[in-house]
């Protein structure tokens, strides 16, 4: 009897489970923000994946081509002052920049979700400790901390190390937000029935709470990736990134260092700026689309 009540209460009280996988395609047609955003990000990923088959990525190295060439047939995006083909730089730089975001997103979301789930469900002193640590760290200027850390190890910094540096501060917002969601979910009838049926805390979190948070976790992941990419580009634009990697942020840094705008080398700025705009527009649209998936009120209104 208790098992039947558990199943029935789960169906009645779990809004996220009403979003069946079979309805994903049909729902996508009613959620253009998600489709357009995913298309933009996929297009940028394809540039990094397919681009090396059509572009000589060796020209992303300094002194590979004639420097300071305007966009033309041989160099569609022009060349920079270091003698690098900017098209090759973009093809190589997009995956490197996205790698920072994805690594930081995964690490930040795993840490934040774990702390938020445990603190929100268990409560008590665990919740108090996690809440105090998160609230305290959120008062610290994140960019200043990242600048200090990156500057202290800039001689040995790499793409993966930069991702971990950014991830060190990327878990706090998801931890607080997921904790708030869990505080609400743990009062649902199906969670109480799971506890009465003999489920342990970890099993209840894994089987009853976590599945209902999946759309929200996906939206949080996109937000973390966006913030991580923005933070990494900001650090690189200040010269605190990997000096020998042609990332989007380092391309902007070299353009600033060599006064590209003052010298009329507008194409040196144009390509990385366009990539950044497309990337963040795509992530914003994906985040907005996933918010409609995670929010049952917005989903039912469509």
Residue 15 lies in a domain: no
231-257 per-position pLDDT tens digit: 888 888 888 888 888 889 899 999 998
Residue 41 lies in a domain: yes
What is the reported pLDDT for 7? Answer: 46
What is the reported pLDDT for 126? Answer: 86
Structure tokens at 278: 């497309």
Domain count, the chain: 1
Residue 88 lies in a domain: no
CB distance 87 to 73 below 8 Å = no
- Report residues of the chain scoring pLDDT below 50: 1-2, 4-20
What is the reported pLDDT for 28? Answer: 58
Residue 224 lies in a domain: yes
What is the reported pLDDT for 79? Answer: 92
User: Structural domain of residue 118, as residue ranges?
Assistant: 23-49+94-245+272-300
37-95 per-position pLDDT tens digit: 889 999 999 998 998 999 888 988 988 899 988 999 889 999 998 899 999 999 999 99
What is the reported pLDDT for 12? Answer: 43
What is the reported pLDDT for 26? Answer: 61
Residue 220 lies in a domain: yes
Residue 164 lies in a domain: yes
What is the reported pLDDT for 46? Answer: 92
Residue 61 lies in a domain: no
Residue 177 lies in a domain: yes
What is the reported pLDDT for 40? Answer: 92
What is the reported pLDDT for 295? Answer: 63
Domain of 37, CATH number, reads 1.10.3720.10
**Distance between CA atoms of residues 109 and 216, nearest Å:** 11
């Amino acid at each position: 009897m208790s098992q039947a009540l558990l199943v029935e209460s789960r169906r009645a009280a779990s809004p996220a489970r009403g979003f069946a996988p079979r309805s994903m395609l049909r729902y996508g047609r009613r959620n253009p923000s998600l489709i357009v955003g995913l298309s933009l990000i996929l297009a940028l990923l394809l540039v990094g994946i397919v681009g090396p088959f059509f572009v000589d990525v060796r020209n992303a190295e300094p002194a590979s081509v004639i420097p300071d060439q305007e966009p033309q047939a041989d160099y569609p995006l022009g060349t920079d002052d270091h003698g690098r083909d900017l098209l090759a730089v973009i093809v190589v730089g997009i995956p490197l920049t996205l790698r920072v975001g994805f690594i930081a997103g995964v690490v930040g979301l795993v840490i934040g979700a774990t702390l938020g789930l445990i603190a929100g469900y268990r409560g008590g002193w665990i919740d108090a400790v996690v809440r105090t640590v998160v609230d305290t760290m959120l008062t610290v200027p994140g960019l200043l901390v990242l600048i200090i850390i990156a500057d202290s190890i800039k001689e040995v910094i790499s793409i993966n190390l930069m991702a971990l540096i950014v991830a060190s501060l990327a878990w706090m917002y998801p931890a607080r937000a997921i904790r708030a969601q869990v505080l609400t979910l743990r009062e649902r009838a199906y969670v109480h029935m799971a506890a009465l049926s003999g489920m342990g805390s970890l099993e209840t979190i894994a089987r009853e709470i976590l599945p209902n948070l999946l759309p929200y976790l996906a939206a949080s992941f996109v937000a973390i990736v966006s913030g991580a990419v923005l933070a990494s580009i900001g650090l690189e634009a200040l010269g605190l990134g990997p000096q020998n990697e042609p990332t989007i942020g380092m391309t902007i840094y070299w353009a600033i260092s060599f006064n590209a705008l003052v010298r009329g080398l507008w194409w040196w700025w144009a390509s990385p700026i366009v990539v950044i705009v497309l990337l963040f527009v795509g992530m914003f649209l994906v985040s907005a689309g996933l918010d409609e998936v995670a929010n049952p009120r917005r989903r039912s209104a469509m």
